[in-house]
Amino acid sequence: MIDYSTGQGEWTHWILEETVFDERNLAKFETIFAQGNGYLGVRACTEESYPGQTRNCFVAGTFNRFDDREVTELPNTPDFIALNLVLNGEPFHLERGTILAYSRRFNLKNGEMIRQVVWESAKKEQYELVFRRFVSMQDRHLIGMRLEITPLSGKTDVAMRSGIDGRMTNSGAQHFHEGDKRIADGVHLQMTAATTESKIDFVFNCTHRFWKDGRLVSPINKPSIERRYLGTEMKVSLQESEKLVFEKTCSIHTSRDIDNTCGDLGRLKEASLSELIRYAELGYEALLTESARVWEEKWAAVPIKVTTDRGFDQLAIRFAQYHLTIMTPSHDSRISVGAKGLTGEGYKGHVFWDTEIFIMPYFLFTDPEAASKLLEYRYCTLDGARLNAKRRGFRGAMYPWESAGTGEEETPEWGPVDVVSGTPTRIWTGLIEQHITSDVAYGVWQYYRTTGDRDFMVRCGYEIIMETANFWASRVEWDQPSGRYYIQDVIGPDEYKEHVNNNAYTNYMANWNLRTAIRCHEELLHADKEAWTKLNERMRIQEASEEWAEKAERIYLPQPRSIDDVIPQDDTYLHKERIDLGKYRNQAHVGLILEDYNMDQISQIQVSKQADLLVLFYLLENQFTKKVKRANWSYYEPLTVHDSSLSLSTHCILACDVEEDELAYRMFEQAARIDLGPNMKSSDQGIHSASIGGIWKSVVFGFGGVRSLDGLLRIDPRLPAAWEALEFPLYWQGDKLKVRIDKKRLQITNGTNRNESLSLHVRGRLHTFKQTLDLELVEGGASVEQAN
């Protein structure tokens, strides 16, 4: 069904191929072949329609609320892709007639999808069809389509209906008021619409062109305007073997666009259509070439090379990098990355902790400017986070579990069926999964300590860290008997444990947040008294810092048990019932345990949905000894069923840290196959964005051993047995490094030399260099061969 080895020559490990058409598997390929550029994203639905399709197109940041009883979501925009194609009176459809040849290939290198079909109709007439499509990286508003039709068995009358279909919904919810519609010259189509609640204007344009054997022709056109639809029916006659080429060029603009300089809707309509017509005259190939050039530049900046005979691994890394690129709105800091990117309706386009902990690290070490924009989104939504805290009776800023346009909480109240009661399951994450507040602060601090960007901290970062500390200072509760501050009634990263007290991850990260705010206060006071004064006038940070210190000192932090060094995940986890989890750890599809137990029952079992306490050993690794890390790995990993796509990559990194090399590689393979693998139902609702980021993290943080430890770089490689070498770029403190690791050596080249010298730890030893570092890797350390 999926061929991972189609690419040859320069395309080796760049091509994915769907080799057989199966209507049951449409959603899989709609997701993994999705196209985009960070501004818009289009699922890879076919031009002809099938019952199982989900025809989605999203524009980042254009959130809308269907009604007051629902949360906001990214609206599914009108559809450009659909083509109703009739050949000699027979509708082209792959479930009718006979498929004589089929291939749909997706090129990760240039973002183009090509579908080639030889089809025989019920009349036994044969046709060769080639469908091509791309979303432009050169102009973020642009989509290009091309269709080639060649009759193989005689004269053919071609009828094609194409247009802009505004009847799309989000699972039945219509987010648009209908606007103006017009058709110019029978081929230039324009539709406007406005979101019902957020009042964002959209302008949709498309135009059509035809060639017969290379000659531009004008087909017979029959335009039509209907409710929420406008289109045109075009008719052309072909002789046997005569090739018809059809090109459709499309664009989307909104009143919210950061590059919108038109001022009003009328001027935006005129300017966008004129621009589209100019693009269409350049033609598909020229537009694709420009887009491919931008892709080439992007790939040249982030090359990762694995020397191995397992080509899937190289393909999987590129697949992850491709999707990280198309899901991330690096053009606009008012927008962040949704849990499904721009590839599906899952999670409604909302932003989670996935961004700071799983996605941002890729950009932090490859494109720091894009990373800063992701964090600026959190500053743009800081007032919403403050409002969340106020509504719950707290101070400071409480970041929402699910964030959209304003930073206010957007988590739905009810979810899937409860297998015991038969009613919807109550969703508590939006109320009590609060660790995201410190996760955001952690992302800010990691960015600062990795890049040294003090200007960002003055503009955004210090305020975020201090306001999140204010939240935790108001959130902790004093426990008189213990003389400690507790954090009660929360959900940690393990969402199979609801309403727990003193979740270790939450408590440790809250403590880190408070202590980091103190550092920020002291640093700002001494380095920039003017900026400190402004913040102090607004937030009274001098007074707040005293409270941060008192509460950081006395917050309860669960400690390793004396008998086995295991840290309690929460107050009751270690006392819960243990059951045989083999059925659920070996499951073919995630969530099997939810078919046997409801959430109340699962909360009473020692089972974890995903890494929880273990994440601390990655984020705050210097606070724990290797002995404690291994003890907790040995206890908690067997209790984890990996029902979250975030889990496997985290465990891969930790497996490297505790020297479980074979298991680490196996977990990397499993993580890489969540979306890319042969499971045809794993990605129906869209790509798993955090897991995609986790693939890169597994490679660079796990096998490459890279860490940013509070401003210190560490590289402690552990290559899988199947890999001979690994090469990757790494931005550090303004310099771009090229890292090469093999079984015996670590080589680093500084391509920018902005710093006088760079220092890093390798297997416990500090090394300093300016331009190159060449180390022999030996167990227990590394000997210097060359450093200059």
CATH code, domain with 146 = 2.70.98.40
- Mean pLDDT, consecutive 10-residue stretches, the chain (788 aa), reads 90 97 95 98 97 95 94 97 96 96 98 98 96 98 98 96 96 95 90 97 97 91 93 95 97 95 92 96 98 98 96 98 97 96 96 97 97 98 98 98 96 88 91 98 97 96 98 98 97 97 98 98 94 93 96 98 97 96 89 91 96 95 95 97 94 96 96 93 94 98 95 95 97 96 96 89 92 86 58
- Structure confidence by residue, pLDDT tens digits, 608-617: 999 999 999 9
pLDDT tens string 335-372? 999 999 999 999 999 999 999 999 999 999 999 999 99
Q: Which helix (H) or strand (E) holds 633?
A: helix 626-636
Q: Is residue 768 a part of any domain in this protein?
A: yes
By the 8 A CB rule, do 519 and 591 touch? Answer: no
| 155 domain-assigned | yes
Per-residue model confidence (pLDDT) at position 781:
54
* Rounded-to-integer distance, Cα 600 and Cα 588, Å: 24
pLDDT at 786: 62
Token pair recorded at residue 211: 């060639």
Compute the Cα dihedral for 93, 98, 101, 105 and give only its sign: positive
**In-domain check, residue 182:** yes
Largest CA distance in the chain: 91
Residue recorded with tokens 């899989």: 28
Range of the domain at 132: 33-301
% residues pLDDT > 90 (the chain): 91
* pLDDT at residue 587, rounded to an integer: 87
Q: How far apart are CA 553 and CA 584, in angstroms?
A: 40
Task: Give catalytic residue positions.
Answer: 495
CATH label of the domain that carries residue 760: 2.60.420.10
The DSSP H or E segment spanning 191 is strand 188-195
- Residue at a domain's end among 280, 301, 322: 301
Whether residue 164 is contained in a domain is answered as: yes
- For 58, the 3-state DSSP assignment is strand
**What pLDDT, on the 0 to 100 scale, is given for residue 496?**
96
| Overall domain count for the chain | 2
Going by C-alpha positions, the residue among 324, 335, 332 that lies closest to residue 359 is 324
Considering the domain boundaries, does residue 436 fall inside one?
no
State which amino acid sits at residue 588: A
- Cα separation, 88 vs 97, in Å, equals 13
- The number of beta carbons lying within 10 Å of the beta carbon of residue 140 is 23
Place of tokens 């050993």: 617
Of 301, 335, 366, the position where a domain reaches its end is 301
pTM: 0.97
Residue 2: count of CB within 10 angstroms of its CB: 17
CA 378 to mean position of chain CA atoms = 16
Report the distance separating Cα 526 and Cα 691, nearest Å: 40
Distance, in Å, from the CA atom of 370 to the CA atom of 637, rounded to the nearest integer, reads 34
User: How much is the pLDDT for 754?
Assistant: 86
Q: Residue 678 class from Cβ within 10 Å (0-12 exposed, 13-18 middle, 19+ buried)?
A: exposed
Determine, yes or no, domain membership for 54. yes
Query: Could you report the per-residue pLDDT of 669-725, keeping only the tens digit for each?
Result: 999 999 999 888 889 999 999 999 999 999 999 999 999 988 899 999 999 999 999
Task: Report how far residue 336's alpha carbon sits from residue 186's, in angstroms, rounded to the nearest whole number.
Answer: 39
In a domain? residue 764: yes
Judge whether 766 lies within some domain: yes
Of 271, 301, 331, the residue at which a domain comes to its end is 301
Q: What's 208-271 look like in SS3?
A: EEEEECCEEECCEEEEEEECCEEEEEEEEEECCCCCEEEEEEEEEEECCCCCCCCCCHHHHHHH
